Structure 1
């Protein structure tokens, strides 16, 4: 029987980690929450859950401010055969892990991406725009050989050979890791019937910040992996959704024009992030490159 651990990075998000731990009630699943230096009461929230359950561990990653560094700490602190990743603010369906592990075992997969459904905590235009695209995980796996870390399961053997996530990256570490896994010859797959629920970003500011980080992350990947991503200074052509294109047409001309504006605005945010990193970013020699 496969032993499973769920790694959940968190930073200054007490409500988000509460949502996730409320959804993971089973004591048969080990939850490793890795706090990335929160300055609020996030750790206190986790400790209250620890009083009720021995299946929750709280770790801290204080050396590197990075969700990827936090995930790496969780992997190191677990001895499970399969490691799943969720974000703090997500919920998983009751049979999510059962279906995911069954899919991995039946198809002899080493790396599994699962279905992500975006919900609207607030019905805003930006939220509806973000929710239209969601996470096309199956497309990511087919075209770019990765799944987002919010819906990912990986066998421990994979980390032991290809190394951890690259903690130098502010964004895009899930893709870089997934491509490394693919290049090493491990078998990847997608589980449509295993579903996690992620809240859509409902404000322009939050979606813009995300796209700014995405742009920065791609420039960083070029800096560290030019043989795979090209030379810094030449941004890539858009190869994925910026947060809101979909085959379904919006209901009105106003909404359609608003979505078009948001699409251009998010593309501009990615470009701004890219050139910000190109001109002002520095190579992180203080953080080691991922090695097995």
Structure 2
């Protein structure tokens, strides 16, 4: 039986039968008020209802706790779904610290960390309960991460294409998606939980440490995770800048190294700068710069043409003249947005490194959006 979207369960959720492994859900929260009712609906619609649900408000005050409880009581069914629901609050310390705080408040054998503004397939908790029954499995993540975007916009199409590519890598076991990791309690404790120094990349860091213990990282087939993504070029660049700047501690741990992260971000910038220099050199009336410029332009057009033809999503439609025009425009805009995102990420790395070297503490403004 396949997964369904939240709020429309395909069958009646099972209750906590005798002998079942207990499951707890931990949700760090920092201002995602509009996403809470949807996530609560997802939890209630699961085919395997968790015994414990813990929300950790990262920052805020007692007023936020009261508001959060009213939100759960009046706008969701979660308090009446059979789970023991807790709402905790801490001074702002980042998502890793919030997850660790929530973990300590649970006692279940399996602990799942969900995103406050995420949306999960209704079979996810049931699937991870089955998979984590194997002693050689250290952690589990969803098979797909889908971008919750408007596909009528160029930015939405870019996000959709980007996450489809990541989904293909996830199926191949090369790049597990982020958001919704599940762990056996003993494994999480042995790994010492999340590194609270990290504001970005804490999931990957923990999973890599678990992998180094010789345990398997498993993708739960036929499950999905949907998450809102930036809807405009400006917010896309802002997110890339923020994640790169806050991610310096993660890069310095070597996953990947700061040098590799900088190279990834700077690569498109170098290509663009090389092209600009070549074009500027045309004023010198030299044959070599002209040759470089035109060869580079020709190679770029051919690469764009080939990429469009072999794209799994647009390749078939692109074989007509009108289809090719549309597909080339789409691929060109995709390339432009990718360049903008990478340049913003590199700027974030530079800004974070500069702040560190000048003795300024990186702005602790909460987790990256």
Map 1:200-279 to 2 at 5 A: 200-223=229-252, 225=253, 229-230=256-257, 235-238=261-264, 248-249=313-314, 251-279=326-354
Higher RCO (C-alpha under 8 Å, 6+ residues apart): 1
TM-score when scaled to structure 2?
0.65
Higher mean C-alpha displacement, 180-189 vs 34-43? 34-43
Task: Quote the residue 1:79 is aligned against.
Answer: 107
Q: 1:31 to 1:175 in 2, by over 3 A?
A: same
Q: Which residue of 2 aligns with 1:162?
A: 191
Equivalent residues in 2 for 1:165-180, closer than 5 Å = 165-180=194-209
Cα 1:265–1:48 change in 2 (3 A) is closer
Alignment correspondent of 2:16: none
**How far has the Cα of 1:103 moved from its partner?**
2.6
Backbone CA RMSD of aligned residues: 3.2
Give a deviation string over 1:231-260, Cα, whole Å, max 9, x none. Answer: x56744339xx9xx9753484333222111
Q: How does 1:24-35 map to 2 (within 5 A)?
A: 24-25=43-44, 28-29=49-50, 30-35=52-57
| CA–CA separation in structure 1 for the residues paired with 2:49 and 2:256 | 41
Deviation at 1:50, TM superposition (A): 4.7
Q: Distance in 1 between matches of 2:203 and 2:43?
A: 23
Match among 96, 99, 102 for residue 124 of structure 2: 96
Unaligned runs of 5+ in 2: 1-19, 269-306, 316-325, 362-369
Inter-CA distance 217–25: structure 2 relative to 1 (3 Å threshold): same
CA distance in structure 1 between the partners assigned to 2:250 and 2:331 by the alignment: 33
What is the CA-CA distance between 1:162 and the residue it aligns to?
A: 1.1
TM-score if structure 1 supplies the norm length? 0.81
2:81 aligned with 1:59, yes or no? no
1:83-135 Cα distance to aligned partner (Å, 9 max, x none): 11111121222222112222332585221111222232574221221121227
The CA deviation at 1:262 is 0.4
1:187 aligns with 2:216: yes
Which residue of structure 2 aligns with residue 290 of structure 1? none
Structure showing the higher helix proportion among its residues = 2
**Aligned partners of 1:254 and 1:74: how far apart in 2?**
47
- For residue 133 of structure 2, the aligned residue among 77, 102, 105 is 105
Decide whether the 8 Å contact of 2:199 with 2:247 is kept in 1: no
Report if the CA contact (8 A) 2:29-2:57 is conserved: yes
Deviation at 1:280, TM superposition (A): 0.4
The structural deviation recorded for 1:217 is 4.4
* More divergent stretch after superposition (194-203 vs 134-143): 134-143
Contact (CA 8 Å) 1:86, 1:151: kept in 2 or not? yes
Q: Is the 8 A contact 1:82 1:154 kept in 2?
A: yes
Q: Number of matched residues?
A: 275
Cα distance, 1:75 vs. partner?
Answer: 1.0
Moved more, 94-103 or 2-11: 94-103
Contact 1:110 1:187 in 2 (8 A): yes
When residues 43 and 264 of structure 1 are mapped into structure 2, their CA distance, relative to the original with a 3 A threshold, is: farther
Larger radius of gyration: 2
